[in-house]
Amino acid sequence: MRIEIARRLLELPRSSFATTIGRIDQLVAAGEDVVNLCQGNPDLPTPPHIVESLRSQALDPANHRYPSFSGLLELKDAVARWYAAHYRVELDPGSEVAILFGAKAGLVEISQCLLNPGDVCLMPDPAFPDYWAGVVLAKAHMHPLPLLRSNGYLPDYSALGPDVCERARLMFLNYPNNPVSATAPLEFYQDTVRFAAEHRVVVASDFAYGALGFDGEVPVSFLQADGAKDVGVEFISLSKMFNMAGWRIGAVVGNPEVIAAINLLQEHYYVSLPPFIQRAAITALTGPQDCVRELTSIYERRRDLFVDGVRQAGWDIDVPRSIFAWLPVPGGDSVAFAEELLERSKVAVAPGRWFGAHGEGFVRVSLLAPEERLREAVARLTDARVPQP
Ligand SMILES: Cc1ncc(COP(=O)(O)O)c(C=O)c1O
């Protein structure tokens, strides 16, 4: 029998990363030394006190049973306390916090919760490509919000036509940004709340990198803007904050109606997350935060090393405000540049075009690799003698 897959599934965007990772695996299997700076996968371990918490929670039979449906109230309370301590944002744990299988799951779910077929979703361009799948599943349309260097990589709402504003129901934002590594000031979020309220657009702020502020900067949370909770929600992730990417845990907070919709959808997919993971997440959020500061310093050193190196080699590069460097490519064809760099110099980076049309002309370089590997990458980029932009 020929199995027919539902059309909406066939319409899902394919991950461009899979092909490159396949090629990296081939090269490594053939004995090549590839410096892989393509993905944003933390290379350092989860802090021991969090792992120890998981170990002891896993031994407790109470954590072997089905957990309560929408996540442990103690964890929601820990998320609310984390927001109060870091951003002075007050949240009701019962109605304004939902627990997620990593921020990624929620970032797909929110489109399914809020978009009807034919609606418009305002999508930063470039953007983290995982946002796109939910919009496709909802049969809605994406309208780009170009992120331009000339505008500090912030969208310009005044450039949107009345028809788009009328049909827009959801908007994604992401600061500190992946891939361009920019941050956003509070005034931008105040403008965003005004725009969203005027046009009845729900804001989905992806704050997955919020805890890693470079050079003493504390990245602003969207929820710090007046009235933000009326118009939107914010996603946080423990993946980068505590090197817990493999644990799959995050949260979404803010507007209670959106939170209720996400909980409703999740009730049908899961019976919440494993309780021992949720309890270890409580330890992470409420325990000592020195590990986050130490991680940030490690990333700052890596960033400085990389930026100094490529600048010496002639690249005009902005100082990243997050864990990715956004490197302009000679000739402007990011896919061709990345392919050549991988084949000739054995350095893997992500072409900007994978993140949207406005990503073209750049490649994203992940700083989630030890200093010696970043040094090696700089040396190979310099030796590659590619013509400079
Ligand atoms: C911008 C952005 N948002 C969300 C995520 C996903 O976070 P999580 O691991 O919590 O699913 C990532 C992961 O790379 C990301 O880059």
* List of residues 6+ apart from 59 with CB closer than 8 A: none
Residue with the two structure tokens 């393509």: 38
Does 352 sit in the ligand 1 pocket, CB within 6 Å?
no
Spatial CA neighbour of 369 closest among 378, 357, 360, 361: 378
How far away, in angstroms, is 197 Cα from ligand 1 center? 27
Spatial CA neighbour of 167 closest among 189, 134, 140: 140
CA 351 to chain centre: 17
Spatial CA neighbour of 203 closest among 138, 130, 121: 121
How far away, in angstroms, is 41 Cα from ligand 1 center? 10
Does 178 sit in the ligand 1 pocket, CB within 6 Å?
yes
108 close to 133: Cβ distance less than 8 angstroms: yes
Q: What is the pLDDT of residue 351?
A: 97
Q: What is the pLDDT of residue 385?
A: 55
**126: DSSP letter:** S
Amino acid at 384: A
Does 40 sit in the ligand 1 pocket, CB within 6 Å?
yes
Q: Give the nearest ligand 1 atom to 107 CA.
A: 4
Q: Give the nearest ligand 1 atom to 240 CA.
A: 9
Protein residue with its CA nearest to atom 5 in ligand 1 = 104
Does 355 sit in the ligand 1 pocket, CB within 6 Å?
no
Task: Note the pTM of the prediction, 2 decimals.
Answer: 0.96
How far away, in angstroms, is 112 Cα from ligand 1 center? 18
Structure tokens at 173: 């934002």
How far away, in angstroms, is 106 Cα from ligand 1 center? 10
Does 128 sit in the ligand 1 pocket, CB within 6 Å?
yes
Question: Ligand 1 pocket test: which of 99, 108, 110, 128 has the largest number of ligand atoms within 8 Å of its C-beta?
Answer: 128
How far away, in angstroms, is 19 Cα from ligand 1 center? 20
Q: What is the pLDDT of residue 113?
A: 98
Backbone CA torsion sign across 185, 191, 197, 203: negative
How far away, in angstroms, is 240 Cα from ligand 1 center? 8
Protein residue with its CA nearest to atom 7 in ligand 1 = 103
Separation of alpha carbons 267 and 270, rounded Å: 6
* pLDDT tens for the 389 residues of the chain, in order: 999 999 989 999 888 888 899 999 999 999 999 999 999 999 999 999 999 999 999 999 999 999 888 999 999 999 999 999 999 999 999 999 999 999 999 999 999 999 999 999 999 999 999 999 999 999 999 999 999 999 999 999 999 999 999 999 999 999 999 999 999 999 999 999 999 999 999 999 999 999 999 999 999 999 999 999 999 999 999 999 999 999 999 999 999 999 999 999 999 998 889 999 999 999 999 999 999 999 999 999 999 999 999 999 999 999 999 999 999 998 889 999 999 999 999 999 999 999 999 999 999 999 999 999 999 999 999 987 555 54
Amino acid at 146: P
Q: Which residues pair with 18 in a beta bridge?
A: none
Q: Give the nearest ligand 1 atom to 40 CA.
A: 14
Separation of alpha carbons 259 and 130, rounded Å: 20
Structure tokens at 148: 């331009």
155 close to 147: Cβ distance less than 8 angstroms: yes
Separation of alpha carbons 174 and 100, rounded Å: 17
Protein residue with its CA nearest to atom 3 in ligand 1 = 208
Spatial CA neighbour of 267 closest among 67, 26, 37: 67
Does 102 sit in the ligand 1 pocket, CB within 6 Å?
yes
* List of residues 6+ apart from 48 with CB closer than 8 A: none
Separation of alpha carbons 212 and 216, rounded Å: 10
Does 249 sit in the ligand 1 pocket, CB within 6 Å?
no
Protein residue with its CA nearest to atom 16 in ligand 1 = 178
For residue 372, the SS3 value is helix
How far away, in angstroms, is 33 Cα from ligand 1 center? 27
